[in-house]
Amino acid sequence: MSEDLWHAHVEDYLAALRRGDRFGAMAHVRELQNRGNDVLDIIHHLLAPAQLRVGELWVADAWSVAQEHAATAISEAVLTMLAVERERETRPSKDAPSVVVSCVEQEWHALPALMLTEHLRTDGFAVSYLGANASAQGLVRHIHDTGPSAVLLSCSLAGFLPLARRQIEAVRESGTPVVVGGSAFDPEGHRARVLGATAFARSADGVGDLLRTLPSAVPPAAPLTHPGAEEAYVVFSDRESLADDVERLTLQALAIQTPDTPRVTHAHGWVRVLDDQLPHLVGSVAGALVSDDPTIVTDAVSWAEVVLRHRGAPANTGPTLRTSMREALQGLPVATRLLPAAEPV
Amino acid sequence: MNDRTGCLTPGELHLDLSGALHIERAVDLVLEALVGPVVDWGQLTLVDRHQLVFSSRDLLGHFTSARLPAAALPRSSSLGRTLSTGVTELVLVPDGDDSDSETLASAVPVEEFRSSLTSIRPMDVVTIALSARGATYGALTVAVRGGDGFDPEGIAALEEFSLRVAGALDTTRALAESRHVAAVLSRELSPPALPSLPGVELASYYSVAFEAEALGGDFYDVHGGPADQEPDGHWTAVVGDVCGKGVEAAVLTGKVRQTIRTAALIDRHPGQVLGLANRVLVADEETFVTAICARGHSDETGVHLEIAAAGHPEPLVVRLDGSVEQVAVAGTVLGLLPDAVYAAVRIDLAPGETCLFFTDGVAEAPGHRGRFGDDRMREVLLDTGPCDVRAQVESVAMALSAHLGDRPHDDIAILAVQAGPLQ
C-alpha cells in the first residue's frame, strides 16, 4: 500500500479514536488485515503514526486528556487483540530464546513496549510482556523464575530515567543482559551507555539481531561516578515538594493569585496542566543528572512551554519556569548548572 | 606442555553468584568464569529428578545445553562414577581420537558436545563432583589441551573452586525448588482472568502492598453467566478485602473467594451470597472481610445489577452524561455477627455506563498532598467521562500511581463493569 493510502487510513482510524469508538477502530484494523496487511504493517503504518498524532493533538489542546487516554486504551486493546489471535495461530518454537519486555516502574506508556513485543514474536523470540508500570521487584522475581536470555526495558518519559537506572542495576545483578529503548533515550545511545545498559535499541527494527549479539551473562553495573549522579536521586525523591516550590515561585512571578487548591480553582486552565506536568518537569532534572545529559532539561522546558502556551499561559511562562526551577534547586550545584540564568528579555 | 591448570591458584577464580538466583543463569556464570581464563572447555551436569541436564561452553563463548535420561549414563563411565561416588575422575583423550571415542564419551556423554571438541587434541579431562545436603547433585567437567595430565596443585585448585560452586549452586537449587511451590500456590491465589460475558465489558486493576510477595488481601472475582451454564444467564461480580496483608491474607482470600463461588451456585442473590459467606466466616473466629457483591444480567437495554455490601466502600457509577454517582449500599462486615442480613439495591446501566467497585486501598492511598480520597477518584472519573472501560480504570490507576510515587500503600483492587455498546 502507498504512503498516501496509509495516511488516509491513519486519518480514518484517528476519527474512530476521537469518537472513543473501539469497535470502529477494530473494524478498521480488520479491514486492513483482510487486505493482506500483517500485524507489523499495521503497527508500523497505522498504530504508531496514529499514536504520535494523538500526542500532538493533546499538546495542541485539540484533544482533551480524557480523549487521549481513551484513544491510547483503544489502540492498546486493538494491539492486544491482534497479539492474542496471532499467539493462537503460531506458538514460539520450543527452543526459541526467551526475553522479557517491561516498562520502567511508574511508566504508563505501554504501547511502545507492546509494539516491540510483537516485533520480537515475529522474529522468533518467546516474549514475556510484563506491561506498564511493572514493579522492579516483580521484574526481578520474573527473571529469577524464568531465567530469560535478556530483558528489554522501555522508558518514554526522561523523568523516569532514575528509576530506569535502578532497574538496570537490578537486572544486571542477576547476570542478565539488559537492552533499553524508548523516547526517554537519545538516538545516539549516550544516556543508555551512562546508565549501564548492555545495549541500546534505537527502534524496534533490528532488535532481534541486536539480541543475538548479546553476551549470555553480564557483570553487575559499575557505580555511577559522574558529577550529578548523587544529586539525581535527591531531586527525584523530592520532586513533588520541589514541584510545589516551582509552581509557587512561577505563579508569584507571573502575578497570578495563588489559591490553596489550584486544582479546583483553575479547573480547566493552564495552571491545572502546569500542576500536573511539574513533577515530570522536575523529574527531567533528575533524568538529566542521572544520565549526564543536560539537553533533557532544555527539551522538557521547551515542551512544557509549548503545552502551556496552547492553553493560554502568559508569553513569558517559559523563562519564568526556568528561573523558578533554578531558584527551587539552589543548594544543588550540578542541578542548578543545568538551568543557566535567563538572558534579559 | 600443559601449565595452564598447573599454575592455577584458587584466588584467581573469582566468581560471584549472589545475584544469580536462576539456576541456568548461575550455571552460565560458572562456565564463563572457567572457560577462557582457566580451561579450554567446560561442562556442568545437574541431576534433575530422573534426568541429567548438561550445559557446556567453548572458547568462542558458545553455550549449548542438552538433556539425557539418568538411566542412559552407565555407572561405570567416568561421569557416572563421579556422580555416584563423589570422587574426582581423570581422562586422557589422545591425538587422533575422534568424537565417537569411548574414552571421551565416558566423561562427555552428549554426542553434540563431543563433536564440538574434536579440535582439542591431545586433551586432559577432569570431572569433579558437586555435592551438598549429603548428596552429589551434579558434576563439573573441564578440558584443557595438553596430554601430560594435571598436576596436583591444579586439581586441588579446581576442587576448591568446585566446592564453592557446589555451595552457591545448591542455594540457587533450593531456592528454585521453593519458588516452584510458591509459583503454583500464587497462581491459585492471584485474581483470576476476567471472563467474557455477553453485553458486558470488564476491566480491573490490582496492586499489592507487599510487592516482594506479589500477593495480597484484596480480591475480585467474576463468575457465572452463559459460559458457566447458568440457566438465566445471571453472573456474580465480587470485590473484597481480607484483614491483613501479604501471603497470609492471600490464603484467606482464596478461602473467601471459594466460599462466595459456592454460595453463588446455590442462589446468586447478592444478599443471600453475602449472608451465606458471613455464616461460614463467623465460624472462623478471626477472619473479618469487607466485600461488595453484585448479581448481574444484560438485555437489550443494558446491564442490570443488584448490589449488596458488607462494610465495603460504596461503588461509583459513571453515567452517559458524564456525571458520577455514588451507590448508597451498606451492611455489616463479614464474619462479625452470625445473624447479619444483607439488603440489595438495584442499579441499571445503559450501554456505555460503568459501575466501579473498589477496595479502601484507593481512598487510603497516601500522597504528597494527603490521601487520594473519594473526591480525587470522582474527579478523575469526571475528567475521563464515559468512555472505554479500560481507559476509565487505567485513568484511575495512573492517577493513583502518580499520587503514590514510591510510597508504601495498602492492597488496591478495582473492578469495573460496563454495559456493552448497542451493536
Residues of chain B with C-beta less than 8 angstroms from the C-beta of A74: 388, 391
Residues A293 and A240 in one domain: yes
Q: How confident is the model at residue A342 (pLDDT cuts 50, 70, 90)?
A: low
Specify whether A198 is located in the same domain as A115.
yes
Q: Is residue A270 part of a domain?
A: yes
Which pLDDT tens digit goes with each residue over A37-96?
Answer: 999 999 999 999 999 999 999 999 999 888 898 899 899 989 988 888 887 777 778 778
C-beta atoms of A77 and B405 within 8 A: no
Largest CA distance in chain A: 66
For chain B, residues with pLDDT lower than 70 are 1-14, 18-19, 99-100, 422-423
DSSP A43: I
The SS3 of residue B65 is strand
Kindly report the CATH number assigned to the domain that includes residue A212: 3.40.50.280
Percentage of chain A beyond pLDDT 70 is: 95
Residues of B in contact with A106 (CB under 8 A): 401-402, 405-406
What percentage of chain B has pLDDT greater than the value 90?
Answer: 58
Same domain, A153 and A216: yes
Residues of chain B with CATH 3.60.40.10: 192-419
Out of B183, B383, B421, the one facing A65 most closely (by C-beta) is: B383
Q: Indicate whether A190 pLDDT > 70.
A: yes
CATH of segment(s) B192-419: 3.60.40.10
Mean pLDDT (chain A) is 90
Q: Do A143 and B22 touch (CB under 8 A)?
A: yes
Question: Does A178 reside within a domain?
Answer: yes
Residue A344 lies in a domain: no
Question: Do A291 and A178 share a structural domain?
Answer: no
Contacts of A111 in chain B (CB under 8 A): none
Q: Where among A208, A223, A238 does a domain terminate?
A: A223
Which residues in chain B are closer than 8 Å to A76, comparing Cβ atoms? 390
Q: Closest residue of A to B381, CA-based? A: A66
At A43, list the grid cell: 503497527
**What CATH number should be reported for the domain holding residue A79?**
1.10.1240.10
Contact B391 A137 (CB under 8 A): no
CB contacts of A138 in chain B (<8 Å) are: 211, 214
Q: Where in chain B is the domain with CATH 3.30.450.40?
A: 10-186
A200 and A120 fall within a common domain? yes
Residue A260 has pLDDT above 90, yes or no: no
Residues of chain A by 3-state class (helix, strand, coil), percent to 5 = 60, 5, 30
CB contact under 8 A, A144 and B175: yes
> Is residue A63 domain-shared with residue A122, that is, in the same domain?
no
Contacts of A72 in chain B (CB under 8 A): 391
Domain count across chain A:
3
pLDDT band for position A258 (cuts 50, 70, 90): low
A220 with B19: Cβ contact below 8 A: yes
* Domain at B10-186, CATH class: alpha beta
Partners of A143 on chain B (C-beta within 8 Å) are 22, 25
Query: Which among A74, A144, A279 has the least Cβ separation from residue B22?
Result: A144
A171 shares a domain with A126: yes
**pLDDT at A262 exceeding the cut of 50:** no
3-class SS letters over B103-125: HHHCCCCCHHHHHCCCCCCCEEE
Last residue of a domain, one of A35, A58, A90: A90
Based on the domain organization, do A38 and A6 belong to the same domain? yes
The distance of B7 to chain A (nearest Cα, Å) reads 25
**Structure-model confidence comparison of residues B179 and A173, the more confident one:** A173
> What are the strands of the beta sheet with A199-200, ordered from one edge?
A126-131, A98-103, A150-154, A178-181, A199-200
Portion 157-216 of B in contact with A at CB < 8 A: 175, 179, 183, 211-212, 214
**Does A311 lie in the same domain as A218?**
no
Q: Which of A201, A223, A245 is the last residue of a domain?
A: A223
Are residue A191 and residue A280 in the same domain, yes or no?
Answer: no
Q: Do B402 and A279 touch (CB under 8 A)?
A: yes
Query: Is the distance from CB of B303 to CB of B417 less than 8 angstroms?
Result: yes
Residue A343 lies in a domain: no
- Are A105 and A212 in the same domain? yes
Per the CB < 8 A criterion, the answer to whether A241 and A264 are in contact is: no
- Domain with A100, as residue range(s), is 95-223
Please state, in angstroms and rounded to a whole number, the distance separating the CA atoms of residues B99 and B123. 12
Q: Between chains, do B391 and A73 touch, taking CB under 8 Å as contact?
A: yes
CB proximity B61 to A under 8 Å: yes
Give CA–CA dist A175/A177, Å, rounded: 7
Chain A residue whose CA is closest to B25: A147
Contacts of A104 in chain B (CB under 8 A): none
Residue B61 backbone zone (phi > 0: left; psi -120 to 50: alpha; other: beta): left
